[in-house]
Amino acid sequence: MSVFDTIITGGRVVTATDSVTCDIGIRDGRIAALGADLGSAARTIEAGGLMVLPGGVDGHCHIEQKSAVGSVMNADDFYTATRSAVFGGTTSVLPFAAQYKGTSLRKSVEEYHTLAGPKAVIDYGYHLIITDPTDQVLGQELPALIADGFTSFKIYMTYDALRLDDMQMLNVLASARSHGAMVMVHAENHEMIKWLSSRLLDKGYQAPKYHAVSHSRIGESEATHRAIKLAEFIDVPMLIVHVSAEEAMREIRQAQSAGLKIYGETCPQYLFLTAADLDREGAEGAKFCCSPPPRDKAAQEAIWCGLANGTFQVFSSDHAPYRFDETGKLKAGTNPSFKQIANGVPGIELRLPLLFSEGVGKGRIDIHQFISLTATNVAKLYGLHPRKGTIAVGSDADLALWDPEVERVVRWSDLHDDVGYTPYEGMTLKGWPVIVMSRGRIAVENGELMVVQGSGKFLPREMSTAAEPLGRLAPELDPGSNFGAHILTR
Ligand code: URP
Ligand code: ZN
Ligand code: ZN
């Protein structure tokens, strides 16, 4: 009898730190051995000429969620989104279970379980979105959910339906600190967006391109600065998500230089799109409306720099897909004003090929940075490491076997989502995954999906050390210097 179910031979096995040519023995869905001459197995995969990388972990995507603008449902369900993800080399996803104001967080999670369980083809967990931080939610529901493995959540500083004010943010941050959860923040100044939008609309500037004007760089950096200051005050780590521009990035860099546990995320749209994409014929620009919006070439260069110099720890898709029809981007008609267009772009399948081709292939980042940004750091930040995000004995055998030489022109018709278009149509990308494995199962081979709906597993997550407070209390919160007042519970 073979010791292993599968052996992968002759590939270059690359992790966030190492690159070695060795064989991988897989048993019961996990990596059981790394070495030479591992013997025989029920199945052998010849990987000569290929790179064997950890499967990607997409730490930010929206699946079966309603948009904050227009209340429109995402184009992809858990089947099409996870199918699309795995074809692009991603083997775990973390979308969001959103709380609707006035409802319970637990109820949102239960609803997501019923949606994801029967449909996902790869493993998944959820971040929570907190929109209604009542005493009951923060005092009881949230701690119980964190203990159940929902160890991260997102809060919004904009969107009428989602935003928290500073007081609410402070309450949420204090609760995250007490219970060790990772806080993700959508940082844009709500009033600046409102002010600019109403001025634009009053003067008749309605086209999709004005979405890019209405969400200013300063509005993003002001909110980023404020969020970081609130986090510093409460002494809680924080991840600023979907950073679009140098101004916000500088705030993050500065906080990191001061030793704060502030993390940064960026996404493909900020490397490969610009505001000019929103200025396409007719309503076509609606396809590119997301928040924050894509900026310009200089911003793209700055974001590349932030990926290379370590300001960003994670590179996520922020896949938030809406069809270009009345069920999605055009819900308000074929000539919508920029305030009526659901925000978000698709990207779950191309996240890795885009960064591999244009980052690793063009020498902007190295392969280890690529793996850190797309898998290892994501797993670490969100309490999935070392089960996910790396290649090590004991880790799940979630692997993407890449052919670094194969070149393909991006066509939506070759992708596996249910969106109807891709913002990256026509780009030539070099380096694609050819075999993808999820817990030792071949999930994609020869361009075919080999796993069935409902075979993905829910991932309860651990607390992350990245979410542990520094222990650097602001003097006003430190009983040693505030006349003995105990304000934080932990
Ligand atoms: O425009 C975007 N990013 N839509 C998705 C929702 C969000 O804020 O991440
Ligand atoms: Zn957001
Ligand atoms: Zn998002």
Tell me the Cα Rg of the chain. Answer: 22
pLDDT number for residue 51:
98
Which two three-digit tokens encode residue 292? 């924050």
The position carrying tokens 């119980």 is: 144
Of 129, 186, 318, 419, best ligand 1 pocket probe by most atoms within 8 Å of the beta carbon = 318
Residues shown for the chain: 490
- 183 closest CA partner among 168, 203, 201: 168
Segment 121-130 mean pLDDT: 98
Do residues 185 and 154 lie in contact, with contact meaning Cβ atoms separated by under 8 Å? yes
Q: What is the predicted pLDDT for the residue at 70?
A: 83
Structure tokens at 227: 């969020």
Q: Separation of 68 CA from ligand 1 center, angstroms?
A: 8
Distance 343 CA to ligand 1 centre (A): 6
Stretch 39-60: mean pLDDT: 97
pLDDT at 490 over 80: no
CB of 208 closer than 8 Å to CB of 288 = yes
pLDDT of residue 489: 82
Give nearest CA residue, ligand 1 atom 9. Answer: 318
- Rounded to an integer, the average pLDDT of 311-318 is 98
Q: What is the DSSP string of 145-171?
A: HHHTT--EEEEESS-TTTB--HHHHHH
pLDDT band at 272 (very low <50, low <70, confident <90, very high): very high
Pocket perturbation via mutation, ligand 1, pick of 190, 290, 329, 338 by most ligand atoms within 8 A of CB: 290
Average pLDDT value for residue range 381-399:
98
CA of 400 to the centre of ligand 1 (A): 27
Position 1 pLDDT exceeds 80:
no
Kindly state the average pLDDT of the residues 359-382: 98
168-184 average pLDDT score: 97
pLDDT of 136 strictly over 70: yes
Residue 31: predicted pLDDT? 98
The closest-lying atom of ligand 1 relative to the alpha carbon of residue 289 is: 1
Cα(185) to ligand 3 centroid in Å equals 10
Ligand index nearest the alpha carbon of residue 67: 1
For residue 117, the tally of other CB atoms under 10 A from its CB is 15
Q: What would the two tokens of residue 434 be? A: 């050819």
Q: What is the pLDDT of residues 330-369, one digit of tens each?
A: 999 999 999 999 999 999 999 999 999 999 999 999 999 9
Q: Which residues line ligand 1 (CB under 6 A)?
A: 62, 186, 242, 290-291, 318, 320, 343-344
Cα 334 to Cα 276: distance, rounded to the nearest angstrom: 20
Give the distance (Å) from ligand 1 centre to CA of residue 67: 8
**Angle between helical axes of 217-234 and 246-257 (0-180°, round to 10):** 20
For residue 156, report the distance from its CA to the centre of ligand 1, in Å: 10
Pocket test for ligand 1, best of 193, 316, 343 (most atoms within 8 A of CB): 343
Say what percent of the chain tops pLDDT 70: 100
Q: Are 282 and 288 in contact (CB under 8 A)?
A: no
Mean pLDDT of 253-266: 98
Average of per-residue pLDDT values in the chain: 97
Distance in Å, CA 309 to ligand 3 centroid: 24
pLDDT tens track for 95-104: 999 998 889 9
Q: What are the helix (H) ranges across 265-313?
A: 269-272, 297-308
Give the ligand at the shortest distance from the Cα of 127.
3
Render 85-137 in DSSP notation, one character per residue: HHHTTEEEE--EEEPPTTS-HHHHHHHHHHHHTTT-SSEE--EEE-S---HHI
Using most ligand atoms within 8 A of CB, pick from 76, 128, 242, 266 the residue to mutate for ligand 1.
Answer: 242
Ligand nearest to the CA of 321: 1
* Reported confidence tier of residue 65, pLDDT bands at 50, 70, 90: very high
